[in-house]
Structure 1
Amino acid sequence: MNFRKATISDLAEMKELFVQTIQSVCKNDYNPDQINVWISGAENTQRWIDVIEKQFVLLAIIENKIVGFGTLKDGNYIDFFFIHKDFQRQGIANKIFVELEIEAQKYHSKIITSDVSITAKPFFLKKGFIVKAEQKNILKGIEIINYKMEKEL
């Protein structure tokens, strides 16, 4: 597995991974309406372009395929963190997370935060995050629960 920073040419593959992962991996924690609203975020291409251009976006690559990615916004906020549905539980998330923490330390960040799905919450707890609040987000009239979490560095 190799790491590299994302470029605009990675946009379509990143969005596809985002959609497929949510549809597959999160289906036990979110109902079909919630999943459909969540994946509709892939339609906002400008948001994705802004992420690639303005955030630290780290891709995990195996055989020229993106198998996971994580993003760090402003040196202290994990915005996106997704592992390909076919590459779950292989240590990829851990390796991406370590790299994001190293990047956060370059910014001298004292705390790293994220808004974490029900599905990802156990992983973040294992990485030393604590839950600061349960959040009930309303997107297109649908409630989606996630958690404001943080970790001291």
Structure 2
Amino acid sequence: MSAQATPPFALRPMLPADVPQLAEILRESVLELTGDDYNEQQQEAWISVLDDLEAFAARLAGGLTIVVTLGGAVVGFASLEGNDTIDLLYVHPAAAGQGAGAMLADALEKLAGSRGVAALKVDASDTAYGFFIKRGYVAQQRNSVERGGEWLANTTMQKPLGGDKA
């Protein structure tokens, strides 16, 4: 890859054939990027959502899921649950910090705003908390979620959208 200020990311809707790659992105993202905030048992419990790939595929298909590509390869994905909640947002560790996550979040914020949503919500992991703070999200409450016998902390955050002022 040549040295560029901004990699040439592109967005597109998720295709059913993307599901195995998206599962791998979630797995690698959790295992490689969340170690400062979650222990190994918590990480394993977190990725246990992938034990049932059909259920994971149904979850992705149940919302509006978009993928971000780099040179045609999928490097991240995000999904909107209902019109007002970011359900999932993951970027492969090799592409983390290069703008793919921001591109996904921008797209979901624009979609939600175009649907008349006043505010977008997300249950942000401790790892993703700073990313959402920088984007103007405000912490609403702390949560503890049980997954596979492990407790995982996250924070419900909210960002006002558009409204009368851009």
Q: Same fold (TM over 0.5)?
A: yes
TM-score by length of 1: 0.95
| Alignment check: 8 A CA contact 1:34 1:142 kept | yes
The one-letter code matched in structure 2 to 1:88 is: A
Equivalence for 1:24? 32
Q: Distance in 2 between matches of 1:148 and 1:44?
A: 26
Equivalence for 2:111? 103
Report the aligned-residue RMSD: 1.1
| Alignment check: 8 A CA contact 1:8 1:52 kept | no
1:125-148 superposed Cα distances (whole Å, 9 cap, x missing partner): 111111111111122221111111
Aligned length: 153
Shift, 1:73, TM fit: 1.0
1:25-80 superposed Cα distances (whole Å, 9 cap, x missing partner): 00111000000000111113233222332211110011221111111111110000
The one-letter code matched in structure 2 to 1:152 is: P
Q: Distance in 2 between matches of 1:51 and 1:141?
A: 22
Unaligned 5+ runs, structure 2: 1-8, 162-166
Unaligned 5+ runs, structure 1: none
Shift, 1:85, TM fit: 0.5
Equivalence for 2:136? 128
Shift, 1:92, TM fit: 1.2
Aligned residues with identical type, % of pairs: 23
Larger radius of gyration: 2
- Correspondence for 1:43 among 47, 51, 56: 51
Secondary structure in 1 matching 2:83: coil
Equivalence for 1:7? 15
